[in-house]
Structure 1
Amino acid sequence: MSDSTTYSLGPFTVGRIGFGAMQLPGPGAFGPPRDHDQAIAVLRRAVELGVDHIDTAQIYGPKVANELIREALHPYPQNLALVSKVGGRRDDQANWLPAQEPDDLRRDLEENLRTLGVERLAAVNLRVFGADGVGPAEVNRDLFERQLDTMIAARDEGLIAGIGLSNISREHLEIALDRTEIVCVQNAYNLADRTSQPVLDLCVERDIAFVPFFPLGSAFAPDNPVLGHPTIRRVATDLGRTPAQIALAWTLNVAPNVLLIPGTSSVAHLEENLAVADIELPADLDI
């Protein structure tokens, strides 16, 4: 890491606020975007504003997000860290399904490279699926070791610069660190859901980038305890900001290794999201 506004992501040093491409496809990250030209505009504006870390996945669409990124930004800026993930697939009903065998991971990785039009990605997260398809899985040691073998081989072949993990427990991370370097971890984390705190603590200890997904609450939940949190709403009013901006600023301040990847399909929301780094939260803020 170089200063409080950047952090290491494998061989890259990136700004601590990046962009997540999950909302670029249609509703539920499935199908074409509601507004194709707006999606392209969001991506180009993000880079204009200095974003150098974009998080995506072949299963967003599927492949829609990757194709939009390529259309908007290829050939890519040299400093742009493209990060994707493997381990899942979508069916025709837009369900999120596991695809966890080593052959699945390798096929998905190669599809990411092809649709993005690159020979190497900055990092790829191995996304572990829990029994409910949402929460972190219990450790299946044999499968996880074979998954790590696949990720290590891809890195050694030069297809990815770094290995990441997603939706994992602290035990997963400990096992992985005994085998290889991990450059980032992507778990659910926000002010209303801190179940991944032990994982974040280990990432802080080992200087690993922690990339929280759903920092504003789950995009698929009917209620949102983050944006509706009374303290968040009060501080937003006091500072003349939106609740989303305050929640993002709170998450950014949890630890110096946190990298935000808020997603949006709106240029206006993009600009709001990128403006949270200079928010000074009350010193006595207790959430």
Structure 2
Amino acid sequence: MSEPTTPVALASGSFLLGGDLPVTRLGYGTMQLTGPGVWGDPADPDEAVRVLRRTAELGVNFIDTADAYGPFTADLLLRKALHPYTDDLVIATKAGFTRPAPGVWVPVGRPEYLRQQVELSLRHLGVERIDLLQLHRIDPKLPVAEQVGELAALQSEGKIRHIGLSEVTVAEIEEAGRTATIASVQNRFNLADRASEDVLDYCEARGLGFIPWFPLATGVLAGTDSPLTRIAIEHDAAPSQLALAWLLRRSPAMLPIPGTSSVAHLEENTAAAGIQLTDEQFQSLEAAAA
């Protein structure tokens, strides 16, 4: 196992989640700590534990997980690796999917189901209150107010500190906001896929955290002669590190959560916190992605 080093994640800066929880802007996502199809145990559970412990050594204090990862596999690994948790560790989790089979995700937002999943997450994570509970998907079969309202009820009972949303539009954020205070949004967003740019701008303007999932996707932008590859060479960095550096530069509300099941890859991702893009480099990447 790698020796402890300087907490390099701190170079990414911090964000005040929900107005009262300081988190490192470069976090970690647990989805890859499961088997194929985000189902069952990983091939190497011991390495998964090492990855989670290494996140803490590198200064990452924001970890994103979900009851659906496994299901509950990632949560149990997280508890095994880091419980009892340090006071500054912020765990974000999600509820709102059922997992009937590997690779199958079915949104269910019935209040009684969301309540059950929150109670199970509390037990599996070993906490008395969830720092950030995100509605994994809005169930189209039910009113938004009914789903978010149950989370607000759990919040009033002291079981949830902050409420977030995932894969939503600006209109859906505003609709949910009429029932509860929303602290964050988690949408797919990366250098090559910026369909949620309006959501990001909305979050930044209102102090909401924006958590981009699938943050490392670069696609054709990582080609041999691409600006991403050229600038990566200038920084003696990997294209994936530049993709993270671009996200961190794009908005102060951006909270990337790259995931991996390897300590070496974790260290590479976290090193992106120290990469400072020049204005020219940032604009070059922006133009290439556009």
Give your verdict on TM over 0.5. Answer: yes
**Within 1, Cα distance between the matches of 2:185 and 2:101?**
29
CA distance in 2, matches of 1:129, 1:143: 9
Equivalent residue number for residue 228 of structure 2: 232
Q: 1:216 touches 1:227 (CA, 8 Å); kept in 2? A: no
**Counterpart-to-counterpart distance in 2, 1:228 and 1:107:** 46
Q: 1:117 aligns with which of 126, 129, 146?
A: 126
Separation in structure 2 between the aligned mates of residue 273 and residue 45 of structure 1, nearest angstrom: 12
Q: Distance in 2 between matches of 1:42 and 1:93?
A: 23
In the TM superposition, what is the alpha-carbon distance from 1:103 to its structure 2 partner?
1.6
- Mapping of 1:55-74 within 5 angstroms? 55-74=64-83
Counterpart AA for 2:231: V
Query: Counterpart of 2:52 in 1: which secondary structure?
Result: helix
Give the 3 Å change call, closer, same or farther, for CA 200–61 of structure 1 in structure 2: same
| 1:197 Cα deviation from its structure 2 partner | 1.0
Cα distance in 2 between the residues matched to 1:226 and 1:14: 30
Letter in 2 for 1:85: K
Deviation of the 1:151 alpha carbon: 1.0
Q: Which residue of 1 aligns with 2:187?
A: 187
2:255: which partner in 1?
259
3-state SS of the aligned residue for 1:216?
A: coil
CA distance in 2, matches of 1:189, 1:92: 26
Distance 2:84 2:251 in 1: 33
Which residue of structure 1 lines up, in the alignment, with residue 7 of structure 2? Answer: none
Q: Kindly tell me: are residues 7 and 107 of structure 1, through their superposed partners in 2, closer, same or farther at Cα, counting changes over 3 Å?
A: same
How many Å separate the matches in 2 of 1:228 and 1:251? 19
Matched, 1:107 2:108: no
Question: Which sections of structure 1, spanning at least 5 residues, go unmatched?
Answer: 131-136, 218-222
Cα distance, 1:92 vs. partner?
A: 2.7
Q: Deviations over 1:72-119 (max 9, x none)?
A: 111111111011001102113431111122222111111111111111
CA RMSD, aligned part only?
A: 1.9
Is 1:97 the counterpart of 2:106? The answer is yes
- Secondary structure of the equivalent of 2:212? coil
Residue 5 in 1 paired to residue 1 in 2? Answer: no
Is the contact between residue 166 and residue 185 of structure 1 (CA under 8 Å) also seen in structure 2? yes
Structure 2 partner of 1:35: 44
Give the whole-Å Cα distance in 2 for the aligned partners of 1:189 and 1:21. Answer: 17
Quickly say closer, same or farther: Cα 1:26–1:201, change in 2 above 3 A.
same
Structure-2-length-normalised TM-score: 0.88
Amino acid of the structure 2 residue aligned with 1:203: C
Kept in 1, the 8 Å contact 2:12–2:24? The answer is no
Aligned pairs for 1:266-285 (under 5 A) are 266-285=262-281
Unaligned runs of 5+ in 2: 1-10
- Distance in 2 of aligned mates of 1:249 and 1:185: 20
Per-residue deviation, 1:226: 5.2
| Counterpart-to-counterpart distance in 2, 1:183 and 1:281 | 28
SS in 1 for 2:274: coil
Judging changes above 3 Å, is the alpha-carbon distance between structure 1 residues 93 and 224 closer, same or farther for their aligned structure 2 residues?
same
1:172 matched to 2:167: no
Q: Which of 57, 60, 80 is the equivalent residue of 1:51?
A: 60
Which residue of structure 1 lines up, in the alignment, with residue 8 of structure 2? none
The CA distance in 2 between the partners of 1:101 and 1:224, in whole Å, is 37
SS in 1 for 2:26: coil
Q: Deviations over 1:125-175 (max 9, x none)?
A: 112258xxxxxx7xx7x6101011111111111111100000101101111
